[in-house]
Structure 1
């Protein structure tokens, strides 16, 4: 029975890999060259007025199609590796209630997704974008730490989950506050709402795993849900952005 479940996960990972690869290729083939300017803000002393003034400097342009295509390609690579070359290690880790490969992939792909959403609502300062990226990375590392620590405990230690939830909430609060002031187009609001809801389903999945609720008593079921949530959230973001900014 256990071997059958692992084979089902292998097939699901291969399907997800193929699906993400196709999406990445389609985005590159179909998208226009829509770009977003990344800026840097700082204070400069104005000799004429003898006061500090805010200065915004344009640094570079980001081709949104390349950024959008990047995380499906990275996700493809991760799913492909765990279902082929790393499959035995993947099985061994899952048997212990941990999947470091998932967290490694999320730390990059989910963080890119946060940066894209931030840029779409009007956050362009490079410092703010870098901080958002690494706050999200920190949240993902807390997720890994949750699984790593609880391999060896009978009573669940929720500390990493709590700290990760607080850390991961901060970029969303900043994005929401900016969105209220920038009045973005409706498709950006839908992106914010849909991805925010889906992102919250990931910690809910973790809670259900550790509370052993129903089918989640089997860690492998929770792994299956992670794969599906990842596929749905990334697909929604890719094609909502395409429909709003990248289609010809």
Structure 2
């Protein structure tokens, strides 16, 4: 009896992968429903402000900028949407419409859907974490969102490189992707220096989600440079699904216990 080489996407491996996607998709949707129920049961929503500062006069004037409240992000609704988005993409991967292209992509060590999902999951996560750390200015928030999503898409370019090819897209993406977390750290440390230390919930959610983001990038790195066992597309995809699920679950749990409940 012969066994399939480690780098082949066999029927059995793909069946397991589809089962994992199905279970994770349903789990994420269940979390979205749970968060939605909690939000609907709240007497007052948790709103995170979005502001804009406009010049108060001429360039050389000493007038204070005029800060305008533009909108407010409902934290519970945002987390529920994030969970639903990720869950629906997990379920989409197992449907007949996408399963064929999903398998062909993995067989070639590529999965654009993986990075479309994570570009938005990571960008929304950074947006919310930044707000929790006191970032309110709309320009900064939009920039953090765009930079995070763009950095993640560099990983899709990395997968387009042939085996043993250039890792420049990965390096460039990592250089860009660390910037939003550096800005968040600046706000968190700056608040502490001023004597207004962020509450434990904010510090915990920031550090835990930063750790998950680092593990996602490490997994992508090992998928391109690791030994044959780790670099197998089946393993890389399994770890990616686990890490994204871990990140969204950590965000959900900490938001529920730290703010919503």
Please report the TM-score for the alignment, with normalisation by the length of structure 1: 0.93
> What stretches of structure 1 of length at least 5 have no aligned partner?
none
Residue 176 of structure 1 is matched in structure 2 by 185
In structure 2, C-alpha distance between the alignment counterparts of 1:53 and 1:246, rounded to whole Å: 35
Residue 204 of structure 1 is matched in structure 2 by 218
In structure 2, C-alpha distance between the alignment counterparts of 1:6 and 1:81, rounded to whole Å: 15
Residue 257 of structure 2 is matched in structure 1 by 243
SS at match of 1:51: coil
Correspondence list, 1:111-190, <5 A? 111-148=123-160, 150=161, 153-182=162-191, 183-190=197-204
In structure 1, C-alpha distance between the alignment counterparts of 2:203 and 2:31, rounded to whole Å: 22
Q: 1:92 aligns with which of 89, 93, 104?
A: 104
4+ runs deviating over 4 angstroms: none
Q: CA deviation at 1:50?
A: 5.2
In structure 1, C-alpha distance between the alignment counterparts of 2:214 and 2:222, rounded to whole Å: 13
What do residues 35-59 of structure 1 show as CA deviations (whole Å, max 9, x unaligned)? 111100122118xx95342221111
In structure 2, C-alpha distance between the alignment counterparts of 1:5 and 1:68, rounded to whole Å: 32
SS at match of 2:73: strand
Q: CA deviation at 1:126?
A: 0.6
Q: CA deviation at 1:141?
A: 1.1
Residue 67 of structure 1 is matched in structure 2 by 78
Q: Is the 8 A contact 2:163 2:224 kept in 1?
A: no
In structure 1, C-alpha distance between the alignment counterparts of 2:62 and 2:214, rounded to whole Å: 45
Q: CA deviation at 1:154?
A: 4.3
Q: CA deviation at 1:125?
A: 0.6
Residue 23 of structure 1 is matched in structure 2 by 31
> What stretches of structure 2 of length at least 5 have no aligned partner?
5-9, 192-196
In structure 2, C-alpha distance between the alignment counterparts of 1:108 and 1:194, rounded to whole Å: 18
Q: Is the 8 A contact 1:205 1:222 kept in 2?
A: yes
SS at match of 2:198: coil
What do residues 147-199 of structure 1 show as CA deviations (whole Å, max 9, x unaligned)? 12x2xx34221100011001110100000000112321101100011111111
Q: 1:221 aligns with which of 230, 235, 238?
A: 235
In structure 2, C-alpha distance between the alignment counterparts of 1:186 and 1:8, rounded to whole Å: 39
In structure 2, C-alpha distance between the alignment counterparts of 1:54 and 1:5, rounded to whole Å: 59
Residue 14 of structure 1 is matched in structure 2 by 22
In structure 1, C-alpha distance between the alignment counterparts of 2:219 and 2:147, rounded to whole Å: 21
Deviates more, 1:90-99 or 1:207-216: 207-216
SS at match of 1:216: coil
In structure 1, C-alpha distance between the alignment counterparts of 2:149 and 2:69, rounded to whole Å: 26
Root-mean-square deviation over aligned CA pairs: 1.5
Aligned length: 242
Q: Is the 8 A contact 1:146 1:160 kept in 2?
A: yes
Q: Is the 8 A contact 1:212 1:218 kept in 2?
A: no
Please report the TM-score for the alignment, with normalisation by the length of structure 2: 0.89
In structure 1, C-alpha distance between the alignment counterparts of 2:129 and 2:253, rounded to whole Å: 13
